[in-house]
Amino acid sequence: MKTTARHPARKKSETRSFAEEAAVPARAQPRSLPAFEIDRMAAEPYYAQLAAHLEAGVHEGLYGPGERLPSESELCTRFDLSRATVRQTLQTLEARGVVQRIAGRGAFVAPGGMVQGWMIQGRQGFLETALGHGHLDVTTRVLHSGRAILSEMICGLLEIPEGSEGFELVRVRALRGIPALYSINYSPPDVIGVLEQGDAVLQGRSSLSALLGESGYALQGAHRSIVAVSAPRNIASRLDVRTGSPLLRVRSVSWRRDGKRFDVYEAWVRSDLIPLEVDVSAI
């Protein structure tokens, strides 16, 4: 008896014409990662190490704009990390503008792929710099505002008598919902009235720098210092990091054209989210 070989019938969903096959775009596969291992003995958190590694890959051209990074499960397996840690890594990269996350699809390199931070020597405050870079999802939460007796150090920086009453403004800034900067502004007695009338600033809806500039306290100059510090417990809780995590502390004293000092601030910055930028030009 003669038998005829038969090929298994293809499912309807598997049957495509040549034209249909040509019309289906090739699925972009994430490129393999270069050699890198998490340093389990380092003080730097695991998520920050992985975020720095992936961001370096973006800047070095390993991942181009629009390309998908390895999935959460792939990163968990490759680096032996928990899903929560990998998710925090991707949240950090998204907050910095390196990637865009799409639910159900993954994380993709953002157009441009370059992080822009806080221009620390400029006249603008953090909010104005962030908005100028296109970060429209910056939010401000005011934790405290009101009159207070200023410390000896702050009085000295403002060049006012020790024990003077001033104004304190305590805020947390977030990028895409992730706390990134904790700050305290101290103002001298003659600025109290300006701030007490600045409802939009006290509600976190407007810029303190803009309010001061409109009220006769336009910035003429400032001295700013930057120091690497470990996060104290109270600030760590506000920035959603572990106590002792590395932060940058910025201290600034501002004055107007007549030399009068009108603002001192201290800001604790998560530099994994907000790089501090400085421009240099030839004299």
Average pLDDT estimate for 98-117: 78
pLDDT at 21: 36
Instruction: Tell me, rounded to whole angstroms, the distance of Cα 249 from its chain centroid.
Output: 15
Per-residue pLDDT band for 11 (boundaries 50, 70, 90) equals very low
In this structure, of 146-150, 189-193, 216-220, the range with the lowest mean pLDDT score is: 216-220
Q: Which residue has the higher pLDDT, 115 or 40?
A: 40
Percent of the chain past pLDDT 90, that is, above it, reads 52
The token duo for 25 is 């775009």
pLDDT at 142: 97
> From CA 112, how far away is CA 98, in angstroms rounded?
8
Virtual CA dihedral for 238, 242, 247, 253, nearest 10 degrees? Answer: 30
pLDDT at 243: 95
pLDDT at 227: 96
Per-residue pLDDT band for 57 (boundaries 50, 70, 90) equals confident
**Is the per-residue pLDDT at 160 higher than 70?**
yes
**Is the per-residue pLDDT at 16 higher than 50?**
no
User: CA separation (Å) from 231 to 49, 62, 102, 214, 274?
Assistant: 18, 33, 32, 34, 16
Average pLDDT estimate for 245-257: 94
Average pLDDT estimate for 14-32: 40
pLDDT at 280: 67
Q: Please provide the distance, in angstroms rounded to a whole number, between the alpha carbons at the two ends of the chain.
A: 97
pLDDT at 43: 81
**Is the per-residue pLDDT at 114 higher than 60?**
no
Residue 149 is which amino acid?
A: I
**Is the per-residue pLDDT at 7 higher than 60?**
no
Return the biggest CA–CA distance within the chain: 113
> From CA 150, how far away is CA 213, in angstroms rounded?
23
Q: What is the mean pLDDT of the chain?
A: 82
In this structure, of 25-29, 64-68, 232-236, the range with the lowest mean pLDDT score is: 25-29
